[in-house]
Amino acid sequence: MTPEERFKIIDNNFLDILVRYNGNPANLERYNEFSPHIIDDNFAIIYMPASQVTREISARFGYSAIPFCYGLTDEQSLDASGVLKLREIPVVNLRGEGVMVGIIDTGIDYTNPVFLRADGISKIISIWDQSIDSANGYPTIIPAYFGTEYTREQINQALESENPLQIVPSMDENGHGTQLAGIAAGSEDVQNNFSGVAPSSDLIIVKLKQAKKIIKDYYYIPNNIDCYQENDIAWAIEYIVNMARNMKRPVAICIGLGTSQGAHDSTGFLNTIVSVAADFPSVCISVSGGNEGRLRRHFYSTIDPTGPPVPVELNVSENESGFTMELWGDPPVIYSLDILSPSGEYIPKIYVSLVQNQEITFISENTVININSFMVELESGKQVIVLHFKSPAPGIWLFQVFGSGDLQGNVNIWLPSGDFITKGTYFLKSDPYTTLTSPGNCIVPITMTAYNSGNSQLYVEAGRGFSASNIVNPDLAAPGVNLQCPSLDHKFTTLTGTSAATAHTTGITAMILEWSIVRDNYPDIDTVGIKKFLIRGASRDPQLKYPTREWGYGIIDVYNSFNLLRSDLENI
């Protein structure tokens, strides 16, 4: 890749576009002017000049062409999960020794003492900071060509200097990545009664770069909101997996990010990347289920083509500048809709074709809605209608969803997750289920929800399952309310949310990888094997029928999982 082509990766004047080339480079020849950049055997990125970008770009390249945007999923856990009990058994005493923990997030405060070994050496093997670009500093183990990689040697050199940031200038300005790393693998601090779940594990850190402004603008995401592109997350996964392979060590990866874009099933670009990586031996990936359970951003209904249309009422807040709304309909029904604005301006039924782009301007409200419709979205096979609202008028918007055909169908509508939209924009008749964020809708990785270990109650904001294709998600619940973690001022704070639960679980999976691979008890274990191991030992309420859409298969209890395993081995 030439310097000119490499510059397009980070330049906001070029839009990243995902294309599927199916392993045949000849399929990319028609994109040569856009500098094709191969990610894996299926997907590549091309970079289109901003001057050529219009709202019809999705109609040209497909629904999933513009990378989705992912946000952070957050707002006395070791004993509750059985971790301390395992440490107390001398012949077990699992602490993540020999295992690497990968954190894909906002970076890390590498100067914090909880990320040092007892001998003062950093626990961090490397930091790939995607936000610091250099001509020759990007990782050589993957063809990403951006960001800067800092090694453990450089980090230790920085720690010995009077001004560490002059040597390793990578910082965690948000604090979220530092918190997750501390929960999963922070060293013990006896004075402050703190320990990460797997305190002997090493760390691999990827600090994600912020999504390009051109992509934020496309989805109407405010510029001051932390937001990350799915192709950058995919590169982060590949980087961590390749590092583990090169070092011949097992790795537990934590993804505390999520999006409400997509079909909410196992399809899609990042979902595919995560599932493939999680299926490798010696790799375990845990993902967050998100915190969308009570935010009223999901609508669901069955559609009977012989009956009346289904009304959908959407309240838009006063300070909403723009947002997207996605309607997903199950085949074979064909879906269409009409629109009634808060002032009473009516747009008759919008009929859809195979691929369609249409712009509607509301005179009374000064609102513009751009509609992209795909009769058959290629990844999921479902129909999708995406509405891009620009300067939406506040008040109640009414949509009527029509179906045509001779069978009933199901329709799901989702609004953006997290801070990508204000809390005052919501459906009046919402459905709290099928609110897990992606990639928490995948089959292979371990999808986590959060509960309060102090009162054994589910975290009220947690997303709920199942997936839109009825995959059992979440898989398990872990402590995720007021978890102690390191702060950016080298003190301690607390974190609440499903990404906190995911970091906790990542530490537990590092313990299992130590027992299975480092100690050579089960050398071929992967994410699915670890998931089944944890499901088997989970704590369950006898009054509930599992799996449930709130709890999955129950509360994680790694001590009980090992107890059951020991019992099995004794009976062999």
Query: Which of 103-112, 117-126, 351-360, 498-507 is the least confident region?
Result: 351-360
Residues 239 and 378 both lie in one domain: no
Residues 405 and 267 both lie in one domain: no
What percent of the chain has a predicted confidence (pLDDT) above 70?
96
d(CA 150, CA 168): 7
Segment 148-189, tens digit of pLDDT: 999 999 999 999 999 999 999 999 999 999 999 999 999 999
pLDDT of 41 reads 87
Residue 145, domain member (yes or no): no
pLDDT of 565 reads 74
Residues 100 and 179 both lie in one domain: yes
Residues 419 and 352 both lie in one domain: yes
- Structural domains counted in the chain: 3
Burial (CB count within 10 angstroms: exposed 0-12, middle 13-18, buried 19+), residue 347: middle
Model confidence at 572, pLDDT cuts 50, 70, 90, reads very low
Residues 94 and 214 both lie in one domain: yes
Residue 95, domain member (yes or no): yes
Segment 247-294, tens digit of pLDDT: 999 999 999 999 999 999 999 999 999 999 999 999 999 999 999 999
Residues 305 and 365 both lie in one domain: yes
d(CA 448, CA 286): 7
Average pLDDT over residues 123-145: 93
Answer whether residue 450 shows pLDDT above 60.
yes
d(CA 59, CA 394): 28
Answer whether residue 395 shows pLDDT above 50.
yes
Residues 405 and 458 both lie in one domain: no
Residues 103 and 214 both lie in one domain: yes
The neighbouring-strand residues paired with 247 are none
Answer whether residue 443 shows pLDDT above 70.
yes
Burial (CB count within 10 angstroms: exposed 0-12, middle 13-18, buried 19+), residue 398: middle
Mean pLDDT, the chain, rounded, equals 93
Segment 37-64, tens digit of pLDDT: 999 888 999 999 999 988 888 888 889 9
Residue 357, domain member (yes or no): yes
CATH number at residue 91: 3.40.50.200
Q: Which residues are catalytic?
A: 105, 176, 499
Residue 152, domain member (yes or no): no
Q: Does residue 113 sit in helix, strand or coil?
A: helix
Does residue 332 have a cis bond before it (omega within 30 degrees)? yes
Closest among 422, 569, 480 to 180, alpha carbons compared: 480
Segment 237-246, tens digit of pLDDT: 999 999 999 9
Answer whether residue 78 shows pLDDT above 60.
no
Secondary structure in 3-state letters for 383-426: EEEEEEEECCCCEEEEEEEEEECCCCEEEEEECCCHHHCCCCCE
User: 12 is in which domain, residue-wise?
Assistant: 3-53
Residue that is last in its domain, among 427, 449, 465 = 427
Segment 477-505, tens digit of pLDDT: 999 999 999 999 999 999 999 999 999 99
pLDDT of 87 reads 66
Average pLDDT over residues 202-230: 96
Query: Which of 257-266, 332-341, 344-353 is the least confident region?
Result: 344-353
Residue that is last in its domain, among 406, 427, 448 = 427
Residue that is last in its domain, among 396, 427, 458 = 427
CATH number at residue 355: 2.60.120.1290
Residues 360 and 414 both lie in one domain: yes
Residue 450, domain member (yes or no): yes
Model confidence at 5, pLDDT cuts 50, 70, 90, reads confident
Residues 409 and 547 both lie in one domain: no
Answer whether residue 354 shows pLDDT above 50.
yes
Residue 415, domain member (yes or no): yes
